[in-house]
Amino acid sequence: MPPCHEHIYNQRRYMRSELTAFWRATSEEDMAQDTIIYTDESFTPDLNIFQDVLHRDTLVKAFLDQVFQLKPGLSLRSTFLAQFLLVLHRKALTLIKYIEDDTQKGKKPFKSLRNLKIDLDLTAEGDLNIIMALAEKIKPGLHSFIFGRPFYTSVQERDVLMTF
């Protein structure tokens, strides 16, 4: 079995914890003791990953509206999802190329986020966040190049979260 990445492991623990908490909150029957998943003190399940975001995202909303117009049970939905992911990937590559051209591959500082949003039609904050996340996955360090260095590194963030 291949080694499990730390983020995947933590993501699964989050999901299990959230599902257990959801089950306890909504179910009238008691859970069997062997199905309860206990988490240790270093894990922070109170960070709710199923929360509403305040950013408007037209990409996902349009996709969901179109997907739910398709008949359920058809393999067409999975094809439609694959095409949507391909569009997101292409937009992320376009974003990377735009930034490389604008900064001469990092030799100059990035000038205008507003122009980038207008030129790439990413004026909705949620759309920009989605495409930026994919672009960061393809080219790590892109986010900090555009928005500056974050105050906390991931190790510092973990240490801060451990104090709660």
Do 119 and 43 fall into the same domain? no
The CA distances from residue 21 to 40, 44, 59, 130, 158, in Å, are 15, 13, 31, 28, 23
**106 found inside a domain:** yes
**Model confidence, pTM:** 0.57
End-to-end CA, the chain: 34
User: Is residue 163 in some structural domain?
Assistant: no
Inside any domain, residue 99: yes
Percentage, residues of the chain above pLDDT 90: 9
**Res 74: pLDDT:** 77
pLDDT single digits (tens) 103-125: 878 777 777 888 888 888 888 88
Helices (H), 38-153: 58-67, 76-103, 113-119, 125-138, 142-147
Report pLDDT for 87: 93
Q: State the residue range of the domain holding 122.
A: 58-147
pLDDT at residue 13, rounded to an integer: 79
- Would you state the pLDDT for residue 158? 59
> How many independent structural domains does the chain possess?
2
Give domain status of residue 16, yes or no: yes
Mean pLDDT of 135-163: 69
User: Is there a domain that residue 84 lies in?
Assistant: yes
Residues 85 and 62 in one domain: yes
69, 115: one domain: yes
The number of beta carbons lying within 10 Å of the beta carbon of residue 52 is 5
* Pair (64, 15) in one structural domain: no
The per-residue pLDDT for 153 is: 56
Residue 126 · residue 60 · CB < 8 Å: yes
**Considering the domain boundaries, does residue 164 fall inside one?**
no
Q: Is residue 162 part of a domain?
A: no
Indicate if 40 and 68 belong to the same structural domain: no
Note the pLDDT tens digit of each residue in 29-63.
Answer: 665 555 555 554 444 444 555 566 666 678 888 88
Residues 28 and 101 both lie in one domain: no
CA atoms within 13 Å, Cβ hemisphere of 13 = 17
Task: Tell me what the pLDDT averaged over the chain comes to.
Answer: 75
Could you tell me if 63 and 143 lie in one domain? yes
